[in-house]
Chain A
Amino acid sequence: MNILITFCALSTAKGMVVFMNNGCKVVITGCGVLTNSGDDLDEFWTNLCQGNNGYGPLSCMDTTNYNTHIGGEIKNFRPERYIHDFEKKRDYLGRTSQFAVSATYLALKDSEISPDELCHVDAGVVIGTTDGEPNSIEKMNLTMAGCCTELDEKATRLITPQRIAYSISREFQLKGPACTIASACTAGNHAIGFAYEKIISGEAEVMIAGGADSFSRKTFTGFNRLGATTVDSCRPFAENRKGMVVSEGAGVVVLESLEHAQKRNAYIYAEVVGYGVSCDAFHMTIPNEEGISLAMESALKYAGIKPADIDLICAHGTGTQANDSSESRVINKIYGDQIPVTANKSTIGHTMGAASMLNVITIAMAMQEDVIPKTSNVEKIDPSCQVDCVMENRHQVVKYGQANGFAFGGNNGVVILKNGRLLKGIDE
C-alpha cells in the first residue's frame, strides 16, 4: 500500500480540509441487485432505461381502505436461486436477510472474488436498512392485534435487524467488521461511508456494503396516512407528482482497496472518492435545506472536487412534494440548474434502506454504459424544481457521479463516485 500521509493533522475547528486517508483508495468491483425490476444488472439497467415500472397492485397485504393500492413487491422471489442449501436455512433468515444474502451472492459473483479468497482476507459487511425485518415483526403483530390466535414463533425470533448483516458474515465466512446500519432511507450511503473508513484504516481489505428492506405494512400505512403515496406512478420532480411508491429490494456492492483490486485484476466500476453524512437536527419529517446542503458540501469537500465536476446526480427523488422541492432547491443552489439529475424511484419505487445503494449502483452502471438513464413517468417538470431532470436517456460520459439519500429524522448521506476508467493511469 502506498502509505502517504496526504494532509497534515490540523484541528478541523475551522472546517479546513485535513482529511487523513493515507493515500488508500476505495473502489467498487462488483454490484448485485434484487428488485422488482430484476435481479440481473442488465435487466435492471434495461428496465430503468425503458421506463418499465416495477411496481403494481399489491398482493402481500389487504389494501382496502388505503388511499393507494400499489407497491413495489418482489413477486416470485426464489431465494434458493442464490442461497446455497436454502431449505435448511429458511427458519433462520428473515425476508430482508434473504434479500441481503442473495444480493451479496450476486455482487460477489459479479466481482469475481472467489469464496476461498474471501476467507483469507480481512473482509467485513455493513448493510443499511430502514425497517430491518418488518415482514417478521408484522407476523408477530398479527397475534398481538388479535388477528390470529397462535403466535408465529419462528417469525418472532427473526425480528432483530443485526441478523441481516450477520447472516452475510455467516453465509460467506467473513471475519471482519459486521453490522447493520438503520439510518432509514440513507442507510445505504451510510454503509458506503462506514465501509470506506474500514478500508482506509486498514481494518478490512474488502467490505460488502449494501442496503436492503422488505415490504413493510407499517411503512405503507404510515406514508399513506401522511398522504405521501401516489395512486398510479411515481413522478419525481414532476409538476403533477403525488408521492412515492413503497417498495422492497436490495442492492449490494463489493468495495475493496484499489491495491487489492489491482492485485487480482478486478474490473473496477468506480472509485468512492468521497462521502458526506449530516443531520438536519431540525424536525423528524420536514427536510431542512441546511442539513441537506451540509451533506452535499461535505461529500464534495472530501472528494476534493467542485460542484461543476459532477456530471450526474442520482437524486433521492421520492416523488413527494416535500422532498423533491427541497432537494432540487439545494441541488440548484450548489450545482446550478444545468446538472443532469435522474431519479430511479420513478420505476422501482422507494426501496427504503436499499434506495441509496441502488442509486450508487445506478451511477456505477451509468459510468460503465456512458448513458444517463431517464427519470420516467414525468411529462412536465415542476417549474420550481430548477434542475436538469433527464427525461430521455442521454449518452454522456459520467466522470463523477453523486448519489443522494435523505431520511426521516433529517439523516442525510451523499456518496460521490469517480469513473473507474479514470483510474487506469495509476498503473503506468
Chain B
Amino acid sequence: MKKENRNSEIAITGIGVVSPVGIGFTDFSNAIIEGRSGIKEISLFDSSPYKSKLAGEVTGFDPGLYLPKKGQRYMDRSTRFLCAAAIMAINDAGLEINDSNKRNTGVVVGTTFGSLKSISDFDIESLKSESPLWVNPMDFPKTTINAPASNVSILTGAMGYNTTIVGGGTSTMEAISHGMDLLHSNRLDVVLVGCVEDLNEQYFLHHSTLDVLSGRNGDTERSAPFDVSSNGYIIGEGAAFFVLERVNDILEQKRRIHAKITSISQGFSGTSNHSYFSIPASSKYASVINLALERAQLSPGDIDVISASANGWTELDRSEAEAFAEVFAKNNPAIISVKSMIGETVSASGAFGIASAIVAIEQQKVPHILNLSNPVVPLNYMMEKPRDILVKNALITSVDPCGNCMAITITGK
C-alpha cells in the first residue's frame, strides 16, 4: 500500500545554518555561490596520528551571538551548533514560541551520536581517574544521544514533541519524513527539524577505520565528489535547522515560505549482514527517485536542479550518478554537490543538501562543484563557476552506505 496523497502541503518557513563555509543561511548562500571551500587542516585535535589531515571544520562560530550565557557552559560543541541553528531558523520563520503554541511545536533531530566526544570523554575520564566516581556529574547528561535535541526544547520552550533520529546519511530525510507525518496527522502545528554532527577525534578515528577517508593512502587529500580520481571522502561538521509548517496555516498568516516540500520517498536495499557496507545499486536509487517524482506528480523534465549525495567515495558516487543518468536521460538537470565544499556531514548532509537547493531556488543560480575535472558519469555539472538557471523544482537525494536511499522534491513559489 503506497503512501496516500496527504492532505496538507508542507513548507519550509525558516532556515538556520552553522557550516564550515559560513555561519547563518545568508553567509552560507554567499559562500556556496562564490565556491568557497570549507575544507581545512584540522585544528580541533592533533591529527598527526592520522594519514588524513583535513576536515570541513566549522570556524568563526561565536555561540554567544545566538545563545544565552546561562547554561552554555554545559553545552558541548554539537549542542551549541544545533541550538544556534535552531534560534536562527525560528527567527527566520518569524516564529515566536510561547504558552499559546509551545504544546503544538515539536522538535525532531537527526544526529549520529549527539556528541561522541562527550560520550567517550566521560568514560575515558572514569578509566583514567584514580576512582571512576571522580567524574564530573555535570558531564553525564551530555552523554546521551538526545542531549542536543533536549537542549533545543529547553532553549526554545517547544514541548509538543521531541525525538532524536539516527539514520546515518539519511538521518535528515528520516527526520523530515517523521516531522511531516506529525504535521499531516495534525498532531503538531510546527515541527523544528534540525540535524547536527560535530568533529572530534573519536568520530574521526571511527571514520578512519572504515578505510574510505580521502588521503588515507598518501594520495592528495581533497573533497572531490563525482570525480573519477577521487580517493574517498572528507569528514565535515555543522548543523542545519528547518522550520516546517502546513502551507495552509502560513498562508492564513501571510508569512514567507522558502520552499514547499512536494514529496519524500524512501527505499532500503541491503545485503545480509555478511559485510560492513551494503551500498545500494543505482537501480534502487533510481526507483526511489522515480517514486519521489511520482508522488510529487512531476516528470523528470520538471526537475531543474539536483542536490546530490555524492561525497567522493567513488562506489557511492557512481551508483548515484548512474541513477541520475537513468532517470534524467532526457533533460539533464544541473547538479549541486555541497559536499565538495563542506565535506561529508552524515546526519546533517541531507539538511545541507536541502539548504543548497533552496539557495539555488532563491538565487536562481546553481553553485558549481569544487575539484571536479573528470566526472565518473557525464551529467550536467557546473564545473568552473556558478550558472544562472531558472530553478523551480529541485530534487535532493540522500544515501546511507548500509542500504537506505531517500529523496525529497521541493519547489519555489
Contacts and interface: CB of A to CB of B under 8 A. Distances in A.
A142 B128 CA distance: 10
Contacts of B268: 124, 166, 169, 174-178
A65 interface: yes
A280 B161 CA distance: 9
B127 A294 contact: no
A220 to B, nearest CB: 9
B158 A180 contact: no
Of A122, A124, A151, A281, most B-chain CB atoms within 10 Å: A281
Contacts of B150: 279, 284, 408-411
A92 B275 contact: yes
Given A15-B103, A194-B178, A88 B274 contact: yes
A85 interface: yes
A180 B133 CA distance: 30
A378 to B, nearest CB: 27
A67 interface: yes
B298 interface: no
A77 interface: no
A18 B249 CA distance: 15
Contacts of A302: 187
Interface in B91-141: 100-104, 106-107, 111-114, 116, 119-120, 122-124, 126-128, 131-133, 135, 137, 140-141
Contact of A411 (B163, B167, B182): B163
Interface string B164-205: 111110110010011001101111110000000000011001
A346 interface: no
Contacts, number: 307
A202 B276 CA distance: 31
B8 interface: yes
Interface residues of A, number: 102
A180 B145 CA distance: 11
Given A9-B8, A12-B189, A132-B166, A409 B206 contact: no
Contacts of A179: 165-167, 170-171, 174, 404
A182 B7 contact: no
Chain B interface secondary structure, helix, strand, loop or mixed? mixed
B79 to A, nearest CB: 10
Contact of B153 (A129, A170, A279): A279
A89 B1 contact: no
B119 A163 contact: no
A158 B52 CA distance: 20
Contact of A140 (B144, B160, B202): B202
Interface in A117-146: 122, 124, 129-132, 137-138, 140-142, 144-146
Of B101, B135, B153, most A-chain CB atoms within 10 Å: B153
Interface string A1-44: 10100000111110100111110000000000000000000000
A197 interface: yes
B1 A205 contact: yes
Of B184, B271, B402, most A-chain CB atoms within 10 Å: B402
B146 interface: yes
Interface in A164-216: 165-167, 169-171, 173-184, 190, 194, 197-198, 200-203, 205
Given A146-B128, A174-B268, 20 more contacts: A15-B104, A18-B186, A19-B186, A137-B123, A145-B123, A157-B206, A161-B166, A166-B404, A181-B165, A201-B3, A202-B2, A277-B106, A279-B160, A281-B102, A281-B157, A281-B162, A284-B147, A284-B151, A408-B146, A409-B144
16 contacts: A12-B189, A21-B185, A138-B123, A162-B166, A162-B171, A169-B404, A177-B266, A179-B404, A182-B111, A182-B114, A182-B165, A217-B126, A219-B143, A279-B162, A294-B103, A409-B154
Interface of B: 1-4, 6-8, 74, 100-104, 106-107, 111-114, 116, 119-120, 122-124, 126-128, 131-133, 135, 137, 140-141, 143-147, 149-151, 153-154, 156-168, 170-171, 174, 177-178, 181-182, 184-189, 201-202, 205-206, 209-210, 249, 266-276, 278, 400, 402-404
The 7 closest A-B pairs by CB, nearest first: A409-B150, A279-B162, A182-B145, A222-B140, A197-B181, A284-B141, A145-B127
